[in-house]
Structure 1
Amino acid sequence: MKLGVSLRTSQNLALTPQLQQSIRLLQLSTLEMQQEVEQMLDENPFLEVQDEAAETEAFGVAQADAPVVPGEQLSERAGESERSGEAAEAETPTTDLPSDWEGDGSIDVAADDGEWGGDALARGSGSSGSGGSDEDVDAADIKGAHVSLTDFLHAQAGEFFLDAADRCALDYLIESLNEDGYLEDDLQDLALPLARSVEEVDELLHHFQLALNLLHNMEPAGVGARSLAECLQLQIRAIERSEDFEGDFRALEVARLVCAQPLELLARRDIRQLAQLTGASQDEVRTALLFTARLEPKPGRRFADVERNVIVPDVIVRPSGRGSAASREFTVRLNPEVMPRLKVHEVYANALRGNAGGGELQQRLQEARWFIKNIQQRFDTILRVSQAIVERQKNFFIHGEMAMRPMVLREIADELGLHESTISRVTTAKYMDTPHGTFELKYFFGSGLDTETGGSASSTAVRALIKQLIAAENPQKPLSDSKISDLLKEQGIECARRTVAKYREAMRIAPANLRKSL
């Protein structure tokens, strides 16, 4: 092995902590960014939330200004006059600083440490613009008002006169139900861990069986079933016992027989096979299928405590002016409700300026300024990308999804001078409120399908066209995927049958045999 000294040059990309934080904030969703802001507020003493509305500075995003109606504008001017009068009477504090003070070494930040996003609403400040009206509903109140399936069943169980053992067995079964209201475990499996001997197993099974019979007679009908077939049969039995039922009991009987057959036949609507197995006529089976279609396969659905993630748009798009549709323009602005109003704590920053040392504190102050700057850059980038999307997809905002044009990430990246990965981060988990609804920014990107004219049609527009064709079809003769493909070709769009099936399944539309009306 020969040792030697060599000299070579190379280029390496070093990601500074500030750049790493900027990239990470860019890919966060609105909820994740709010959590990041809260964590930073807890960890960094130089960062705080601006409680009162301040004047918008050059450090913020000018495009984020929300329009004010004339009535609110007059009230705001009156409030500003009162605040200016109070400020004139108050004593203005002064801070003695060295005349040669040049800052603390921060770069690329404004001279003022004022808040950014001054028009945004502080979280928890109560200044939502509604004036604390009764329409504001707290999330804790909604959660407290929710009644779970187990609570609903326990309330009914309290009306039964049972001994201690049967009451415990019924409560145990109620707590063993899944969120859909099904009892997934076998009674034997439930009894074995609780028994200390073989005799106790038999005794527990007796109590569990009695409790299960009571559970099957409780509301909602079908609760406590071990299978879908049993759930449907329990609902049919509950309808038979109902005093309000005035229908055909023969249809209920056939429906019970149909539910006892393999559910694959019920899903395929195989009327001929079901008629042979049940001994009923095809018309009776057809009526029974119509009846079973109205039953609830998941009795606990309406009691499920589903976490409702309300989508808060990051960008709001509204038409401007009253011109014709072809010449209509759209304004794009950031949603002030998702923009945190942050600023550097002036008291702590001023105290640190008079201290020559404090290297660690200087670093924390720098981190606070970096964080505010990166938050600003995040929203600036989102706004720029959104404006480019609206400009390229203008026909969508005028005519709807049928007018969507093909577009890929590289088009926006080349136009804005950004990397394609940056556009991908911006359009992920960011939402735009449009006149046609709220959509993720990724929704406006899609591949294209060839047309007879040599152009291309957006896959989003093709999906919308497929949905329109299915909505207008004859229920007695629904369109097959092949027929839809032929209809698209008649309109100049080359779309294979498999592509139609893929788009249909993505829109959760059933195939033709299941869409056929009985």
Structure 2
Amino acid sequence: MKPNLSLRVSQHLALTPQLQQSIRLLQLSTLELAQEVEQMLDENPFLELSSDDGAPEPDPQAPADATYSEATNADQISAGDENDVETPAVDTPDDWEGDGSMDAAVEDGEWGGDGTVRSGSGADEDEADAADLARSHESLTDYLHRQALSLRLSELDRAALRFLIESLNDDGYLEDTLESLAVGLAGADDAEQLDELVHRFTVALGLLQSLEPTGVGARDLAECLTLQLHAMNLHEEGDPAVVEAALRICRQPLDLLAKRDLRRLSQLCATGEEDTRQAMALIARLEPRPGRRFADVERNAIVPDVIVRKTGRGAQQSFSVQLNPDVMPRLRVHDIYASALRGGRGGEGHQALQARLQEARWFIKNIQQRFDTILRVSRAIVERQKNFFVHGELAMRPMVLREIADELGLHESTISRVTTAKYMATPQGTFELKYFFGSGLGTETGGNASSTAVRALIKQFVAAEDARKPLSDNQIAEMLKEQGIECARRTVAKYREALKIAPANLRKAL
């Protein structure tokens, strides 16, 4: 075959490292962003946290108009009008069809030595910090250890009890068997030592189950409920006949209790239906998770990225949208290192350090761009969902990502990244940004009703129902139709399950 030359034209999408970083930072949650910042601070010597007592000294080589100044950024963030902020212009390559969340053609000298990411006006100082409140809570393990100190035990029994306490899960259950715990300590070879350990653990388990909260140390739900019922008998609480009937129910398969099979349970427990009904009501008041009140609140606390506040009254009522200053890292380029690098001589090492300096500047830029984009999207959401912030869920309007993307001139993928794992604190509560987007259901007037509003209506109907005659999915669908909303029974069932509302047969009062 003879070699020949051919000319072919093709297009391809090229993502610069800076653009890739911008996209990745945009989709990170607050916790993930904090971890990313910590890692970058450890790896890049040109990056440092700025002090809170004042503005850092700007790089003398930086143009005066190229830096995000403290006053400008604070004014942007604290302004109450949704349309009074102009995000810096974003230039993207001609072949990039992305979201415009990154300036891919910025020169090194544009940033200077500062580029500090700053926060605007924050929340009132009187507001309690969720993390500080969480740290004041005592863990279940610490609470049990403190009780164990009052017991007079031998060193071996104390060590066994401590080991069992440390083996509990967050709900207060002992998931592993005593035999498996013994094998984990002594191995499976020495049978005599295993028997001794199992005996020690058996004694320690009895001691553990005598501690507060009642039910701790149970191996399963039935044992947890039984421990609480025995404690009621011990303290002579409740009707002894009802407590005894409840104990019998706990010895039966719990799926019968979950299904509220009154007749079958009465037959198996040899009790009257009235006693069985009272016993089931008693069991419903017990605590299935003894460690619930010791849950790690700090781990479950949600820190909002955006704060929405009501301003004005009556017809002048409006909402201000601000970034939460507590989640914004205050970063800057290390001035001393940057100045030393400018005065140094060229070479391989100099070029490598110059690359790290540019990396630090790009990271600061991308962090700032991330928060600017979140703020713009949040303001657009508040503007479109004003009725929700005034009247609540029932006033939510249907909205899709495309609407916000078209309004802001961004790509749908950018809106998706911004609204994932980002939270907004509002007068109605704290919600993920995705919460404000929902499909629409047709109405008799030809309009659309938000699926969020429909779920709120279903919740309202169920809350007002007669507990002796709970509403079926068909009845709820008919009630929605009376409100002018076309919603099939299967859709009602889907929304009900999403709201974690039990079916009608399980909601029926005993």
In structure 1, give the amino acid aligned to 2:54.
A
Secondary structure of the residue aligned to 2:289 is coil
In structure 2, give the amino acid aligned to 1:370.
W
Tell me what 2:54 maps to. Answer: 53
Q: Distance in 1 between matches of 2:408 and 2:211?
A: 62
Q: Distance in 1 between matches of 2:26 and 2:141?
A: 42
Secondary structure of the residue aligned to 1:402 is helix
Change in CA separation of 1:283 and 1:453 when aligned onto 2, cut-off 3 Å: same
Percent identity at matched positions?
65
Secondary structure of the residue aligned to 2:321 is strand
Q: State the shift of 1:17 in Å.
A: 1.6
Q: Distance in 2 between matches of 1:417 and 1:333?
A: 21
Q: Distance in 2 between matches of 1:41 and 1:472?
A: 55
Secondary structure of the residue aligned to 2:299 is coil
Change in CA separation of 1:200 and 1:508 when aligned onto 2, cut-off 3 Å: same
Q: State the shift of 1:128 in Å.
A: 9.4
Secondary structure of the residue aligned to 1:32 is helix
Q: State the shift of 1:406 in Å.
A: 1.1
Tell me what 1:267 maps to. Answer: 258
Q: State the shift of 1:394 in Å.
A: 1.9
1:7 is the counterpart of 2:7: yes
- Residue 390 of structure 2: which of 388, 394, 398 is its match? 398
Q: Distance in 1 between matches of 2:46 and 2:494?
A: 53
Q: Distance in 2 between matches of 1:58 and 1:212?
A: 63
In structure 2, give the amino acid aligned to 1:409.
L
Tell me what 2:376 maps to. Answer: 384
**Number of positions where the alignment pairs a residue of Structure 1 with one of Structure 2:** 468
Q: Distance in 2 between matches of 1:185 and 1:433?
A: 41
Change in CA separation of 1:228 and 1:46 when aligned onto 2, cut-off 3 Å: closer
Q: Residue 74 of structure 2 contacts residue 120 of structure 2 at CA under 8 Å; is this kept in 1? A: no
1:458 is the counterpart of 2:450: yes
1:63 is the counterpart of 2:76: yes
In structure 2, give the amino acid aligned to 1:49.
L
Unaligned runs of 5+ in 2: 56-67, 81-104
Secondary structure of the residue aligned to 2:232 is helix
1:184 is the counterpart of 2:175: yes
Tell me what 1:84 maps to. Answer: none
Q: Distance in 2 between matches of 1:432 and 1:189?
A: 46
Q: Distance in 2 between matches of 1:314 and 1:493?
A: 34
Q: State the shift of 1:343 in Å.
A: 2.5
Secondary structure of the residue aligned to 1:439 is strand
Change in CA separation of 1:412 and 1:426 when aligned onto 2, cut-off 3 Å: same
Tell me what 1:235 maps to. Answer: 228
Q: What are the equivalent positions in structure 2 for 1:41-440 lying under 5 Å apart?
A: 41-51=41-51, 52-54=53-55, 56-57=69-70, 60=73, 62-65=75-78, 107=107, 110=110, 113-120=113-120, 130=125, 143=135, 147-163=138-154, 166-191=157-182, 194=186, 197-242=190-235, 245=237, 247-305=238-296, 307-324=298-315, 328-355=317-344, 357=346, 358-440=350-432
Tell me what 2:20 maps to. Answer: 20
Q: Distance in 1 between matches of 2:16 and 2:255?
A: 59
1:514 is the counterpart of 2:486: no
Change in CA separation of 1:191 and 1:359 when aligned onto 2, cut-off 3 Å: closer
Most deviating of 194-203 and 445-454:
194-203
Q: Distance in 2 between matches of 1:503 and 1:136?
A: 34
Change in CA separation of 1:493 and 1:187 when aligned onto 2, cut-off 3 Å: same
In structure 2, give the amino acid aligned to 1:500.
V
In structure 2, give the amino acid aligned to 1:315.
V
Q: State the shift of 1:47 in Å.
A: 2.5
Q: Residue 449 of structure 1 contacts residue 459 of structure 1 at CA under 8 Å; is this kept in 2? A: yes
Change in CA separation of 1:66 and 1:261 when aligned onto 2, cut-off 3 Å: same
Q: Residue 120 of structure 1 contacts residue 341 of structure 1 at CA under 8 Å; is this kept in 2? A: no
| CA-to-aligned-CA distance 1:320-350 (integer Å, 9 cap, x gap) | 33342xx643322322332223223333333
Structure number with larger C-alpha Rg: 1
| TM-score after normalising by structure 1 | 0.81
In structure 1, give the amino acid aligned to 2:502.
A
Q: Residue 56 of structure 1 contacts residue 119 of structure 1 at CA under 8 Å; is this kept in 2? A: no
Change in CA separation of 1:295 and 1:376 when aligned onto 2, cut-off 3 Å: same
Q: State the shift of 1:200 in Å.
A: 4.9
Most deviating of 402-411 and 198-207:
198-207
Tell me what 1:88 maps to. Answer: none
Q: Distance in 2 between matches of 1:242 and 1:391?
A: 58
Q: Distance in 2 between matches of 1:47 and 1:165?
A: 53
Q: State the shift of 1:149 in Å.
A: 3.6
Change in CA separation of 1:484 and 1:372 when aligned onto 2, cut-off 3 Å: same
Q: Distance in 2 between matches of 1:395 and 1:251?
A: 50
Most deviating of 301-310 and 23-32:
301-310
Q: Distance in 1 between matches of 2:193 and 2:409?
A: 75
Q: Distance in 2 between matches of 1:512 and 1:229?
A: 25
Q: Distance in 2 between matches of 1:266 and 1:426?
A: 44
Secondary structure of the residue aligned to 1:484 is helix
Change in CA separation of 1:166 and 1:449 when aligned onto 2, cut-off 3 Å: same
1:33 is the counterpart of 2:33: yes
Q: State the shift of 1:223 in Å.
A: 2.7
Q: Distance in 1 between matches of 2:221 and 2:205?
A: 16
Q: Distance in 1 between matches of 2:110 and 2:393?
A: 43
| CA-to-aligned-CA distance 1:277-331 (integer Å, 9 cap, x gap) | 222211111111111111122223334446524322222222333342xx64332
Tell me what 1:82 maps to. Answer: none
Q: Distance in 1 between matches of 2:501 and 2:144?
A: 35
In structure 2, give the amino acid aligned to 1:230.
E
Q: Distance in 2 between matches of 1:237 and 1:385?
A: 56
Q: State the shift of 1:146 in Å.
A: 5.1
Root mean square deviation, CA, Å: 3.1
Q: Residue 117 of structure 2 contacts residue 364 of structure 2 at CA under 8 Å; is this kept in 1? A: no
Change in CA separation of 1:106 and 1:214 when aligned onto 2, cut-off 3 Å: closer
Q: What are the equivalent positions in structure 2 for 1:476-515 lying under 5 Å apart?
A: 476-515=468-507
Q: State the shift of 1:35 in Å.
A: 2.3
Q: Residue 222 of structure 2 contacts residue 254 of structure 2 at CA under 8 Å; is this kept in 1? A: yes
Tell me what 1:92 maps to. Answer: none
Q: Distance in 2 between matches of 1:343 and 1:392?
A: 35
